[in-house]
Structure formats: C-alpha cells, structure tokens
Structure 1
Amino acid sequence: MPLSAGDVQPALSLWPDLAGGTARLINHSENQTFLVETERRGRFTLRIHRPGYQSRPAIESELAWLTALRRDTDVPIPEPIPGRDGRLLQAFKTPAEKTHLAVLFRFADGIEPAPDNNMCELFRTLGRYAAQLHLHATQWQRPEGFQRPVWRAASILDADGLWGDWRIAPGVDAAIRSVLDRTDSALWRRLSEYGLGEDRFGLIHADMRLGNLLVDGSNVTLIDFDDAGFCWFVYDFAAAISFHETHAAVPGLRSCWIEGYRTMRPLGDEHVEAIDSMVMLRRMALLAWIGSHAETRLAQTHRRGFAAGTAQLAERYLRGALWPK
C-alpha cells in the first residue's frame, strides 16, 4: 500500500524549506513520489525509497553522481536539496514507526511525453544525454565506497534477478515459456560475445523511459536516477523505449537516438548491432518487473498482453533481427 500524506508528514520537518508544506502522492512505481507545496518556498518533489530496494550507500552513491553531473555537464537534472543536517539523504519514521529513506528535489516543470510518431527530436536529445552521461562516467573519479547495481545477464535473467523472475510473470504460459527459454539462452550467448570492455560497459542511467522525462517546451529534464548502475552503454536506448518496444515508430526512433548519440560520442557498428540484444534484455526485465510489482499502476497498465508481446518480439530476435536492416 502507498504511504499517505499523513505517513510522510514527519519527513517534512527534516527540510527547512518544507515548513508548513502539504504533501500528496503523485507517483508510485519503484519508489513513491510526493509533490510538496509550500507558500513561501514553492514546490518540491519528495522521493520515498522502496524499503529493501536500494541501500543507504547505494542511494548516497546515486546522489554523488547526480551532483557531479549537475556540476560537470549541461544535462538538465533536478536539484537535490540538503536537509537541516546538510545531508541529501534523510531517514524518518512514519506514525506506525516504520523507517523510510527520503530525498528531496526542487520541483522541475514539464510533463511526461506521450508515445506517438513524432518523437524523433526527443530521441535525438536522449541520445545526446546518454552520450554525455557515458562520457562523464568514463572520466569521473567515483568516490570511495561507491555502490550501484550491476545490470548484467545474471541480475536480469536469473530467477533471483533484481526485478524478479520473468518465468513466473503474468501470462507466461507453456508456449511463451518455451520461446523465452530459447531467448534467454541466446541472450546469454550474444551478451557474452559482446563482452564487458570499457568502451561498451560502465555507469549509466539505465531507466531513460518516457516516464522519467519532463518536457517543457524545448527543454527536456531527465529525472529518477534510482536504477542507475553498471550496464552496457547502449542499454540506455533500450530503456528509452520501455513498454513500447513493439510500437511501429521504434525503428525510426532508434536511428534518431543513434544520430544524437554520435554528436557527442563515437558509436561504432558493433555497438549499434548490440542494440537488439539490449532491447530484448530490457523487455525480459520489464516482464519480470510487472510480475514483482503487481500493486503498481504502471504494472497494471501494461500487464495485459505483455508476455505475449514479449514472445512475439523474442521470435523476431531469434530469427536474427528485431527490425529490418
């Protein structure tokens, strides 16, 4: 069950800017996000972390990278606000005495873009953002004790994957299971062949989906680094088309993303060819996520037919390509 405004009221006292503020839930996905409105200081977003998902050191590491990106790049990213004690990460207890971790961000204007056939410029922007983040990650000196998830075949495809087990996701019947078992094996093989070289694997956002973008005119703000971790760089494209992998516009969006990426960082053909595997890997991750997060509106929205759509995508992957060359 999501927390109520009353549950998070004790958290507001941890930030001077929130004095007299009121909170209301605006999103419940991996974490819970509240809009906090104040008379004097304006609006903020308060992120309440899902218990047991990310550890305190992992969240502090996320915030360290986010802070460095705001300092070193021009990618629009929300500003985290320190609490009374100067720390970005805070802990509070609900009236029921349950402890939660929380981070406050200055409110960013914009709305989530809707999937349509006129998103080429948006995906060029996402390609540029991804390349800038990857460049930064390869040059940035990470602080001691830096911890983030590792998104590899094992942590996504295995039964104890970070987002759950795709094998027990809704809609995975015997026929679909057979196709996805073969896809699982093919992914292990192809990802092993692609490898983990420094030119292709490193720290990424890992969740640049439409729900983590705020579009305000020509400005696109990238939010929610909660899943940021170590993965293949081109996985960031796969994340960008999350839940929409079968949309007819995707091949064109792929081209636009690559164009944008290449304006900031080289992307050779070997990496472009790996995109199909990343899209299939992400789709398997989302299938598992829908099963393990059934209480969320996002999972409920996409649940129907998602396993069947994943199997159809997998059949194309096993035949050699998700989209015509």
Structure 2
Amino acid sequence: MASTFANKGLYQQVADEAIRYYPYDGAEAKLLAFSENATYVLRDPQSHEPYGVLRIGRPGYHTIEEYEGEMSWLRQINDYTPLIVANPLTGRDGKYIQVVPGPDGRNYSCVVTEFLKGETLENGDDSYSTDEYEQLGEITAYLHRQSYIWNGTKNIVRTHWDYDTMIGDHPIWGRWQAFGGFNEEQRDELTRCCKIIRRRLERYGKAPENFGLIHADLRGSNVMVDESQIKVIDFDDCGFGWHLHDLAGSISFIEDRDFVPDLINAWHDGYCKVMPFTDTDFVEIDTFILQRRLQLTAWLASHSDSDPVKDLSRGWVEGTMYLADRYLHVFG
C-alpha cells in the first residue's frame, strides 16, 4: 500500500487526467499535500487563479457511497450552519465524484471542492492561539449539532471510528504495534493502556449525545484562518465516532506539549457555547487523547513513505510514553 501511494509521479498523472473531467480547460494541477490522499490546487496557468482543490483518494480507502455521504454532509453544513466549508464542485457530467483510470490500471476516485483562502492554524512555529482554539471548539460543536439534528445523518454511509477500528482488532490505519520505536516494556505498558481505554469506552457508551457524524481529523492543518473567520477543510476522514474524538484530533501530533491543557480549556469554552459538555465527557478527555495518539502511531507505521512521517516520528516514542505514564497514573 505505502509503496504504491508513495508514487507521486503516478498521482500527478491521475491529476492531469482528472482535469479533463472538469470544465477547467487548460488548468494545471499543482501538488498541495501528499499524505492519506493526494491534494492539488487546480489553477489557471497564466493568472494562477485557483479553480478549486482536487483530492485524489487512495484506491480502496473509500467507496463511491462514502464519497457521496461526505458531499451530502458538506452541502448540509453550508446550507444550515454558520460554518464555512469548501463546497463540492461538479464535473462536466454534473456529478461530484469522478472515477479516473490511472496509468497503473487502477481506478482513482476524485473530488474537487472550492478553494478557500486563508492560512492554516498549524503554522509550524508552535504559536498556537487559545482564541483560535476557542473558535475551533465552537465550530466543532456546530458540526456535531448539525449531524445530531439532521434527519439525513442516518442515511449516510461512512467509516465508523471506534476502539475496534482505531486501535483494536480491525484498525483501519493498521496496528500501532507495528511502529518500530517501542521496546518490549513500552509495548506492554501501552497494551495495558489499551485495555483500560476499552473498558472505559464500553462504560462511556455510544449515545446520540456523545456519538455521531464527526469530522474525525479536525486538527490545525485542516483549519484555515482568514482574518476573523475560521474555515474547515478536508472531510476525507469524516465518519461516525465519539464527539470527543474531534477534541483529541484537534491536538494531533502535539498531545504531549506543555501548552496543550490551555488549548483544551479554550476548545471546551468554545464548544459549550453551542453544545453541552458533561462532567462525564470531561473525565474521558485523556482517554480519547491517548486513543488518538495510538491511532496516529499506527498511521505513522503504515505510511512510512508519506511526506510528513519522518519529521513527525522524531520524539514520538518519548511523547507517547509520557502520555501513557500520565494515563496509568490517573486510571491505572
């Protein structure tokens, strides 16, 4: 999987071919990001004005029905919430999802969304703002409220993100144990943590008030800041999961930093402006943070050829064990 996905040249060929499926004659596809999927800005080669953002999915990651579910939710968010998300754009045939044959004989599902202006919240210099995280919490709550009250949510076909599919027996991103940096003692400690996480999540339960359609990757790199506006992008991982997973996702890859509690408190303040947040929810924040950390550990292991992995892996073991030690001190 990783070696095929790592072939940037192949994905560039797919992107160039995909342009023919959209009414952007003469457009060029410039790579924006190469991670779980390949993302390109489609722009006019002379003026460099963007037409939209093309996302090419990894074959087998989503079905057509799952892509259609994502597009349906985007339209609902734009129509029935104050949030700003990138509207999906149709191809020449009027459809949102275009299936493009690749030079390797495989089919690649492609979607194009509006190009949103702004700078990502994750700016690489550790200057995370509590004001922005308060806004992010409020935005997250609007998403959760919309999916809670929308009758169409029950008809959406999307991935279910729970213990089993993140760090259990059927992990979608692979097994966290495959990450090569842990010694035997550290793996044993993390395994103990997993058993506690599972027990606590079974007791926490799945109810409409705490489990529903979520973004599932609502971190800094998927949030655009444009003056006073925050815009949400990249719903590729959206699916059914615990609402608290979106809080854990917002601090992905920085969970062990000393300023994170301030960000969490700010996120919580923003969330409570729109949706309730119970004492039971608050108690389980660390459970979801560690579960997300282990899910990301699996992602690092299964995407070793992905651009961000080498940088993100530095200090990963130490940071993860710090979180595990803290978790066992509280819940062990």
For normalisation by structure 1, the TM-score amounts to 0.94
> 2:113 is aligned with what amino acid?
F
Structure 2 SS opposite 1:248? coil
2:59 touches 2:106 (CA, 8 Å); kept in 1? Answer: no
Equivalent pairs: percent with the same residue? 33
Q: Distance in 1 between matches of 2:127 and 2:162?
A: 31
> 2:117 is aligned with what amino acid?
D
1:163 touches 1:292 (CA, 8 Å); kept in 2? Answer: yes
Structure-1 residue corresponding to 2:39: 33
Q: Distance in 2 between matches of 1:178 and 1:305?
A: 19
Cα distance, 1:247 vs. partner?
1.0
The counterpart of 1:192, out of the listed 198, 202, 215, is: 202
Cα distance, 1:96 vs. partner?
4.2
The counterpart of 1:268, out of the listed 278, 297, 301, is: 278
Q: Distance in 2 between matches of 1:165 and 1:219?
A: 37
Cα distance, 1:4 vs. partner?
4.8
Structure 1 SS opposite 2:60? coil
User: How many residues get paired?
Assistant: 321
Structure-1 residue corresponding to 2:86: 78
Structure 2 SS opposite 1:83? coil
How big is the alpha-carbon RMSD for the aligned residues of Structure 1 and Structure 2?
1.8
Q: Distance in 1 between matches of 2:142 and 2:63?
A: 27
> Could you report, residue by residue, the CA deviation over 1:135-186 in whole angstroms, capped at 9, with x for unpaired residues?
1011112277521111111111124301100011131221210110100101
Is residue 2:18 matched to residue 1:8?
no
Distance 1:189 1:209, change over 3 A: same
The counterpart of 2:225, out of the listed 192, 206, 215, is: 215
Q: Distance in 2 between matches of 1:144 and 1:285?
A: 26
> 1:258 is aligned with what amino acid?
H
In structure 1, stretches of 5+ residues that fail to align are: none
For residues 85-124 of structure 1, what are the structure 2 equivalents within 5 Å? 85-113=93-121, 114=123, 116-124=126-134
The counterpart of 2:25, out of the listed 2, 16, 19, is: 19
Cα distance, 1:123 vs. partner?
0.6
The counterpart of 2:193, out of the listed 179, 183, 186, is: 183
In structure 2, stretches of 5+ residues that fail to align are: 1-6
1:8 touches 1:94 (CA, 8 Å); kept in 2? Answer: no
Larger CA deviation: 138-147 vs 128-137: 138-147
Cα distance, 1:193 vs. partner?
1.1
Structure 2 SS opposite 1:8? helix
Structure 1 SS opposite 2:30? strand
> 1:119 is aligned with what amino acid?
S
Larger CA deviation: 304-313 vs 236-245: 304-313
Structure-2 residue corresponding to 1:42: 49
Q: Distance in 2 between matches of 1:111 and 1:197?
A: 35
Q: Distance in 2 between matches of 1:291 and 1:95?
A: 27
Structure 2 SS opposite 1:260? helix
Cα distance, 1:10 vs. partner?
1.5
Q: Distance in 1 between matches of 2:95 and 2:203?
A: 43
